[in-house]
Amino acid sequence: MNSFDRPLVIAGPCMAEDLDLMEKVCAHMVELSKELNFQYVFKASYDKANRSSTSSYRGPGLEQGLEWLGKIKKKYHVPVLTDIHEASQAAKVAEVCDYLQIPAFLCRQTDLLVAAVETGAFVNIKKGQFLVPAAMAEIVNKAKEAAENKGIPLRVAVCERGASFGYGNLVVDMRSLATMAESKAPVIFDITHSTQLPASGGKTSSGERRFAPLLARSAAASGYLSGFFLEVHTNPSQAKSDSDVQLTMAQADALLRQTLPVWENAKEFAELDKSFT
C-alpha cells in the first residue's frame, strides 16, 4: 500500500452518459498522461444510485455501463474504475474494472467493502462527508482483514472529498490528509467533488468549480497525496450529473499542469512534519 512513484490520476465523466463522451475524454487524458507522466485510470459511473430526486437520470445501468467500460479499457489500454453500491455487484464489476470505488455515503458498509476487497481489484474508498478522518484507519483495517482472510494482497486507497459544513456545503480540512495517511493507505484527493454544494439546488447538487485549482494546489502541497480524482466532461453545462463541478478538458489540462509540479516538489514535506510531533 505504499505511495506511487508517479501520481495516480483518476479522471473521466461523472456518469457514463454515452460511449462517444467516454472515448473523447479518455483519449484526451491518455495523451496528457504521456506528456505529464502520471498514471492514468479512466472513471465513469454506470449508476448514480444516490440521486436526490427520482426524476434525475441515474445512468445506463450495470450491463450497458460495463460494456462501455470494457470497450474503453480494450481500445485505450487503460485501467478503468467505477462505483459499486451493493455487495452483489462487486464480482461482476471486477470482471471488467481494475478499480472498484466505494462511494462516500457507503464507506462504512462492511459487506460492500469486504466484497470489493475479495475480488482482488484495487479499491478506492471515499471518505464519507460525515466521517472524522481518523475513522478511515478502521475502514482500512476492515479491508486488511478481508484481504488476509482471502489470502490476497491488500490493494486499497482512501479518498478525501470534503466534509459537511452545515447544510449544503463542504469544506476540506487539509489536516485530514495527514490523518488519513496514518492508515498507511495511499491518499487520493477528489478535486471536483470537494467543490460541491450537496443538494443545495433542491433536486440536484450545485457547486463552485472556481475553487478546484485552489483546492488541488493546496492538497498537492501537503506532501501526503498519492494521487488525484477529477471529473472531466466535453461540455459540463450539458452533463447529466455534477454539471456545476465537472471540468472541461482544457480546464483539466491547466489544473494538472499547475498541480503536478507542486505534488512533485512536496513529496518530502510529510517527513518534515514528523519532526514537529
Give the pairing type, strands 163-164 and 99-102.
Answer: unpaired
Segment 71-99 shows an average pLDDT of 98
pLDDT of 58: 85
Look at residue 271 in the predicted model and tell me its pLDDT.
83
Task: Give the position of cell 453545462.
Answer: 237
Helix 19-36 crosses helix 62-76 at what angle (to 10 degrees)? Answer: 40
Domain boundaries 8-274, corresponding CATH code: 3.20.20.70
pLDDT tens-digit series, residues 145-156: 999 999 999 999
168 Cβ neighbours under 8 A, 6+ residues apart: 197, 198, 199, 200
**Cα–Cα distance between 12 and 102 in angstroms, integer?**
16
pLDDT of residue 102: 98
How confident is the model over 23-55, as pLDDT tens digits? 999 999 999 999 999 999 999 999 987 766 666
Which whole number is the average pLDDT over 189-199? 93
To the question of pTM greater than 0.75 for the whole model, the response is yes
